[in-house]
């Protein structure tokens, strides 16, 4: 089965012909979603990104028409925005989500300021969803999209999701919530994400239907078999050497060999399975099941459906890919939004 949007591609080959639809992004990071919209034919006008280093990568690869290296709170206060931003077909946003992740501190981190990474301004993260809603209220695009982690639908975070739904409604949008898995959308990665997608009330169209069931892409299909590098962290390498067939990660080995529940995020990559979620830091922790090394940059770009010639400048590739929505995942959603909604407006 051919995939609608190939996960192996190059920026130098260009994007498909424009469909004339305009999209703008918030929390654009390195440009994962941006590339997805472009792959689906949208004109991506630019975005908002607080991180200076990441913003430099974005600008280098995308040369955006409108770009703001700002905290979104400051963007919302600007009074000189282009008229073009008030005539959007779609507004996209992926607010930082670590405080909702089931793997993080969750409730303990809510309402507390932190630096998302070195060099950034201190900010609270769990309220950024509502700050993004302020952006929506101001710009009033036809369609809005909010992406976040699966943890937003779990535990006490479900209360946040209900409030998000209410505020979307109060802002004038009919919203739907989708839990989508990138591995069913032509991405070589098991990445589950929540998408809240809303249509402005003045457009009376049927509900959006998102059913993706593309053939899974196994890690063996993207594995760089020419890479004979070996990783030599002493403790992790000792555990890797002691693994058994049934072990799925170094945590399993640690429990058996050392009677310790350590290395929870150090997964083993099987060639006959889809690669697990790439997070900002897990790329340096995962180990190949049959080779004592971490996934390399080629494998990470393929698993993240990033173009193989993307210029990361000095930013760690795994970090940026782990922080991004895979371009192909966004392209699939954007294509359906166009077919089912925007093409009918």
Q: Which residues are catalytic?
A: 97
DSSP single-letter state for residue 276: B
Query: Of all helices (H) and strands (E), which one includes residue 181?
Result: strand 173-181
C-alpha span between 306 and 300 (Å, rounded):
8
CB count, 10 Å around CB of 112? Answer: 12
C-alpha span between 203 and 181 (Å, rounded):
28
C-alpha span between 238 and 269 (Å, rounded):
17
CB count, 10 Å around CB of 169? Answer: 13
Is the CB of residue 86 less than 8 Å from the CB of residue 76?
no
Q: What is the DSSP string of 204-268?
A: --PPP-----PPP--HHHH--TT-------HHHHHHHHT--TT--BHHHHHHHHTS----TT-BE
> What are the tokens at 145?
């999209």
C-alpha span between 66 and 69 (Å, rounded):
10
C-alpha span between 105 and 57 (Å, rounded):
29
Strand locations in 59-187, DSSP E? 66-68, 90-93, 113-115, 122-124, 143-149, 173-181
> What are the tokens at 298?
């080629």
Q: How buried is 271 (Cβ within 10 angstroms: 0-12 exposed, 13-18 middle, 19+ buried)?
A: middle
Q: Residue 303: which of 293, 282, 22 has the closest Cα?
A: 282
Using DSSP's 3-state secondary structure scheme, residue 53 falls into helix
């Amino acid at each position: 089965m051919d995939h609608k949007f190939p996960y192996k591609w190059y920026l130098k080959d260009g994007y498909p012909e424009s469909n004339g639809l305009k999209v703008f992004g918030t929390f654009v990071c390195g440009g994962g979603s941006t590339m997805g919209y472009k792959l689906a034919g949208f004109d991506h006008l630019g975005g908002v990104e607080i991180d200076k280093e990441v913003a430099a990568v974005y600008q280098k690869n995308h040369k955006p028409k409108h770009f703001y290296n700002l905290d979104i709170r400051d963007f919302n206060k600007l009074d000189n925005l282009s008229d073009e931003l008030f005539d959007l077909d779609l507004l996209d946003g992926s607010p930082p989500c670590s405080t909702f992740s089931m793997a993080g501190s969750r409730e303990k981190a809510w309402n507390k300021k932190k630096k998302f990474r070195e060099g950034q301004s201190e900010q609270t993260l769990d309220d950024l969803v509502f700050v993004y809603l302020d952006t929506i209220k101001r710009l009033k695009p036809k369609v809005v999209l909010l992406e976040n982690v699966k943890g937003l639908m779990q535990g006490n975070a479900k209360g946040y999701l209900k409030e998000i739904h209410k505020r979307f409604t109060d802002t004038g949008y009919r919203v739907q919530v989708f839990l989508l898995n990138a591995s069913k959308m032509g991405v070589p990665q098991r990445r589950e994400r929540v998408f809240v997608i809303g249509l402005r009330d003045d457009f009376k169209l049927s509900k959006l239907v998102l059913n993706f069931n593309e053939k899974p892409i196994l890690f063996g299909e993207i594995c760089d078999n020419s890479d004979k590098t070996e990783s030599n962290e002493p403790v992790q390498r000792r555990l890797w050497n002691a693994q058994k067939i049934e072990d799925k990660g170094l945590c399993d080995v640690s429990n058996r060999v050392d009677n310790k529940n350590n290395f929870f995020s150090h997964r083993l990559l099987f060639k006959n399975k889809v690669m697990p979620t790439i997070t900002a830091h897990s790329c340096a922790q995962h180990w190949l099941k049959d080779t004592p090394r971490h996934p390399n940059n080629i494998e990470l770009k393929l698993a993240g459906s990033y173009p193989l010639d993307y210029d990361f400048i000095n930013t760690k590739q795994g970090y940026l890919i782990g922080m991004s929505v895979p371009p192909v995942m966004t392209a699939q959603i954007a294509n359906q939004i166009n077919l089912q909604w925007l093409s009918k407006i």
